[in-house]
Amino acid sequence: MINKLMKQIEKLDAPVVVGLDPMLSYVPEQVQKAAFSEYGETLEGAGEAIWQYNKTIVDNIYDLIPAVKPQIAMYEQFGIPGMIAYQKTVDYCREKGLVVIGDVKRGDIGSTSAAYAAGHLGRVTVGANTFSAFNEDFATVNPYLGSDGIKPFLEVCKAEKKGIFILVKTSNPSSGEFQDRLIDGRPLYEWVGEKVAEWGEEVMGDTYSYVGAVVGATYPEMGKVLRKVMPKACILVPGYGAQGGKAKDLAPYFNEDGLGAIVNSSRGIICAYKQEKYAKFGVEAFGEASRQAVIDMIEDLKSARG
């Protein structure tokens, strides 16, 4: 999958991932109304509304981008109907040829991580049958529990040719509370970055590893250091747009081959219709507004990569 991701980025000249993070309040009224008229103002109604919202957005952007990143929390809040919307979104995006990064941020003791890895990236056996349950292409993983929490994911990545993005330096304001703490004179995120490079050696694709890293767009100085620490890792860069990350700061996240990073925007794309810049589309054409926002983001990043 890392090879497919890299090829799609090159082919489209678009190191962009769109985050499918649908809060119900983002879903235009007409979409909510249609879902509620069928299912009522229920969890099922919410699930249907977010699924229809995603589908329209995906239909408008799938040909422009290599990948999407559905954030599972946005679906999970609606219980089982929300999870059904998550699964429909994953399946639909894969049908459209998109690489799907499940933003599930898992990680636990080894035996529990093994179950997470099987459920999201691998297979489960039920009697004589084997199933790929959620079947995303990549998952985000939290490294706080150390190597034994990561190893089960590596095993599944090897077997299935799928990948993970490990949190190294997150984009949020408090990320430094723990991640920047100095240990033997070096910040914790550097230690984690070194482990990502080491784990990644075990699961190499053609030029990049199946083991990538998450480094927020909001910390470009650290991004520069981490790029060198993990030369073979694809860096997933959230924090562009709604969190204030700017294209001009993102050049250090890329390698000299112009690859090696993929920049995420969620609200900046899926809520584009709410921005003044895209107001001319109107709420009915929210999908077209998202398309224009993707085109603008790709252009913006081109200027950053030089």
Ligand X SMILES: O=C(O)c1cc(=O)[nH]c(=O)n1[C@@H]1O[C@H](COP(=O)(O)O)[C@@H](O)[C@H]1O
Interface residues toward ligand X, by CB under 6 A: 19, 21, 71, 103, 140, 170-172, 214, 216, 238-239, 241-243, 264-268
Sign of CA dihedral 75, 78, 80, 82: negative
Could you tell me the two tokens for 178? 């723990």
Q: Which of 4, 105, 161, 274 is catalytic?
A: 105
3-state secondary structure at position 69: strand
Could you tell me the two tokens for 182? 């100095």
Query: Cβ 76 to ligand X, closest distance in Å?
Result: 12
Whether residue 70 contacts residue 100, with contact meaning beta carbons closer than 8 Å, is answered with yes
φ, ψ at 108 (rounded to 5°): -160, -165
Please identify, using beta-carbon distances, which residue of 45 and 215 lies nearer to ligand X. Answer: 215
Rounded Cα gap, residues 202 and 290, in angstroms: 38
Please identify, using beta-carbon distances, which residue of 117 and 214 lies nearer to ligand X. Answer: 214
DSSP label at residue 143: -
Rounded Cα gap, residues 213 and 141, in angstroms: 9
* Residue written as token pair 């929300």: 82
Query: Cβ 101 to ligand X, closest distance in Å?
Result: 8
Query: Cβ 216 to ligand X, closest distance in Å?
Result: 4
* Residue written as token pair 């089982």: 80
Please identify, using beta-carbon distances, which residue of 24 and 242 lies nearer to ligand X. Answer: 242
Query: Cβ 19 to ligand X, closest distance in Å?
Result: 5
Please identify, using beta-carbon distances, which residue of 114 and 269 lies nearer to ligand X. Answer: 269
Please identify, using beta-carbon distances, which residue of 15 and 239 lies nearer to ligand X. Answer: 239
Q: Return all residues near 76 (Cβ < 8 A) that are at least 6 apart.
A: 82, 83, 86
Rounded Cα gap, residues 161 and 157, in angstroms: 5
Active site residue 105: yes
3-state secondary structure at position 221: helix
Q: Which residue is nearest to ligand X (CB)?
A: 170
Quickly list DSSP for 266-298: SHHHHTGGGSGGGGGGTGGGHHHHHHHHHHHHH
3-state secondary structure at position 211: strand
**Strand 67-70 relative to strand 182-183: parallel, antiparallel, unpaired?**
unpaired
Query: Cβ 228 to ligand X, closest distance in Å?
Result: 20
Query: Cβ 127 to ligand X, closest distance in Å?
Result: 35
Which are the catalytic amino acids? 105
